[in-house]
Amino acid sequence: MSTIQATATAGAAPELPAARSKALDSRPIYRWMINALFIVVSACIFVPFLLVVVSSFSSEDSILRHGYQFIPERWSLGAYRLVFQSPKILLRAYGVTIVVTVVGTAAGLLLTAMTGWVLSRSDYRFNRQATFYVFFTMLFGGGLVPFYILMTQYLHLKDSLLAVIIPGLLSPFHIMVMKGFMSKIPFEMIESAKVDGSSEMRIFFTMVLPLSTPALTTLGLTIAFNYWNEWFNAMLFIDKPNLATLQLLLVRMLSTIEYLTANTEFVKQLGIDVGQLPKYSVRMAMAILAAGPMLCVFPFFQRYFVSGLTLGSLKG
**Total of chain residues touching other proteins, rule CB under 8 A:** 95
Site membership for other proteins, residue 36 (CB under 8 A): no
Site string for other proteins, 50-89 (x = CB under 8 A): -xx--x-------xx-xxxxx-------------------
Q: Which residues of 62-95 are buried (b: 16+ CB within 10 A; e: fewer)?
A: bbeeeebeeebeeebebbbebbeebeebbebbbe
Residue 267, Cβ neighbours under 10 Å: how many? 16
Question: If binding is defined by CB under 8 A, does position 95 make contact with other proteins?
Answer: no
SS3 58: strand
Q: Write down the least CB distance from residue 196 to other proteins, Å.
A: 20
Q: Is 275 in the site for other proteins (CB under 8 A)?
A: no
Cα–Cα dist 97/233, whole Å: 13
Cβ proximity of 179 and 316 under 8 Å: yes
Segment interacting with other proteins (CB under 8 A) among 81-89, 134-142, 156-164, 262-270: 134-142
Cα–Cα distance, 182 to 144 (Å, whole number): 32
**Least distance in Å: CB of 139 to other proteins?**
5
Amino acid (1-letter code) at residue 28: P
Is 183 a residue that touches other proteins (CB under 8 A)? no
**Is residue 305 at the binding interface for other proteins, with CB under 8 A as the rule?**
yes
Of positions 28, 48, 197, 210, contacts other proteins by CB under 8 A:
48
| 262 part of the interface to other proteins, by CB under 8 A | no
Stretch that binds other proteins, among 15-23, 179-187, 215-223, 267-275 (CB under 8 A): 15-23
Write out the binding residues for other proteins, residues 211-230 only, by CB under 8 A. Answer: 225, 229
Question: How far apart are the C-alpha atoms of 245 and 203, rounded to whole Å?
Answer: 38
Length of the chain, please?
A: 316
Per rule CB under 8 A, is residue 158 in the interface with other proteins?
A: no
Residue 305 C-beta: closest distance to other proteins, Å: 7
* CB of residue 142 to other proteins, shortest distance in Å: 3
- To the nearest whole angstrom, how small is the minimum distance from the Cβ of residue 96 to other proteins? 15
Whether the CB-CB separation of 276 and 270 falls below 8 Å is answered with: no
30 is an interface residue for other proteins by CB under 8 A: yes
Binding of other proteins by 189 (CB under 8 A): no
Phi, psi of 118 (to 5 degrees): -60, -45
Query: What distance in Å separates the CA atoms of residue 250 and residue 283, rounded to the nearest whole number?
Result: 9
Least gap, CB of 268 to other proteins (angstroms) = 26
Closest CA to 245 of 233, 256, 257, 254: 233
